[in-house]
Amino acid sequence: MKQVSIILLFLLSSFGLKAQENIDLFIWAGQSNAQGWMGDATDYPSEDQYLDDSILLNWTFYGKESSLGEWTTMQPQKGRFPLGHFGPEVSFARELKKAGYNPAIFKYCLGATGLARDWKAPGNGGIYDKMIVELDTAIQKLKGLGYKINLRGFVWIQGESDGDSQENASTYYANLKCLIDHLRIEVLKKPDLKIMLGVDEQHKFMVERPLVVQAQKQMAQEDKNIIYTTMYSLPKADATHLTPEGLVEHGKRLYEAFQLILK
């Protein structure tokens, strides 16, 4: 009986320690370059891979594959290529870990999706609405595991598809602001949440209709907690998608942007 009591005391003590553990939550969303469309896991980055087991990941390839709402560790994800695919979240999270953060990445992506057409305004039944429902579930699961959650940031890599028409491009600023305001104020209750924005400036739609790029830059100029990040010079596998090497470098750029926005 005494031995059982000692074991129970040890287990309760262990849970108490876990309950004090902080987790740094980042929400990661957007279209193909956020997902890592050409991030063949055959080329999954080996540098700092030892960190992956200490990084949490909850991922959804919308309408295709997912981690079934569960938290797992950083790894390639199903849905593309025999060994899976990866995006910039891998190097981003590894850099965070090396800097002393305890990162958890909630990733929700689908390629070729427009903000106006697919993600839609809050309450209109788009991908965004589905995301925030699953985000809430994911947050509750982290809490159930005993973590104290620090809401650190939102990474939004999207916009090319809204350059498909003048109408969508011209409303992009208002649509993105609506999404960010809703996420910050209504969902997370954190109006100063750090936001990292990005879009492929060299995509043909962005060249033809630069209003989307201008909208992201304007938002960053108006809000000290939002930063615009560039994808210029990153290597591409085709006209649209970054190579595995490009995805790794993109993640590092996003980490550097996060550090800048903290200053």
Summarised one tens digit per residue, pLDDT across range 107-127 is 999 999 999 999 999 999 999
pLDDT range class, residue 20, cuts 50, 70, 90: low
Q: Are 251 and 215 in contact (CB under 8 A)?
A: no
pLDDT range class, residue 263, cuts 50, 70, 90: confident
Backbone φ and ψ for 83, nearest 5 degrees, come out as -95, 5
Report the alpha-carbon distance of residue 128 to residue 140 in Å, rounded: 18
Q: Round the average pLDDT of the chain to a whole number and report it.
A: 93
- Which of 71, 58, 89, 64 minimizes the C-alpha distance to 156? 89
DSSP secondary structure, 211-230, as one string: HHHHHHHHHHHH-TTEEEE-
Crossing angle for the helix pair 244-262 and 89-98, to the nearest 10 degrees: 50
Measured from the Cβ of residue 161, the count of other Cβ atoms closer than 10 Å reads: 23
- The pTM of this model reads 0.92
Q: What is the pLDDT of residues 157-191, one digit of tens each?
A: 999 999 999 999 999 999 999 999 999 999 999 99
- Which of 113, 128, 222, 116 minimizes the C-alpha distance to 166? 116
Domain architecture of the chain: domains with CATH: 20-262 (3.40.50.1110)
Where is 1: in which H helix or E strand? Answer: none
| Euclidean distance between the first and the last CA atom of the chain, given in angstroms as a whole number | 56
Backbone φ and ψ for 12, nearest 5 degrees, come out as -65, -40
Measured from the Cβ of residue 6, the count of other Cβ atoms closer than 10 Å reads: 10
